[in-house]
Amino acid sequence: MQPREIIHVDPHSETVGCDGGGGPLGHPMVYYTFGSRSQVECQYCGRVFSREPEQKQAS
């Protein structure tokens, strides 16, 4: 099983749209509203959209 794709968006974003990446493996465009949540998950493809800053790898 592949890990879920996490897409980091502007922390001030209220809405995101997902089409599954387009092409033959995509899905219809759907929109999600964050509301009070910091993350939303696409119900078609499982992509996670996060308003949280991306974690930096420790060196």
Strands 6-8, 48-50: parallel, antiparallel or unpaired by DSSP?
Answer: parallel
CA–CA separation, 12 and 43 (whole Å): 22
> pTM for the full model?
0.80
- pLDDT tens per residue, range 7-49: 999 999 999 999 998 777 789 999 999 999 999 999 999 999 9
Task: Give the start-to-end residue ranges of the domains of the chain.
Answer: 6-50
Domain spanning 6-50, CATH class: mainly beta
Cβ atoms of 31 and 15 closer than 8 Å = yes
Cβ atoms of 38 and 52 closer than 8 Å = yes
What is Dmax (Cα atoms) for the chain?
A: 40
Per-residue pLDDT at 56: 61
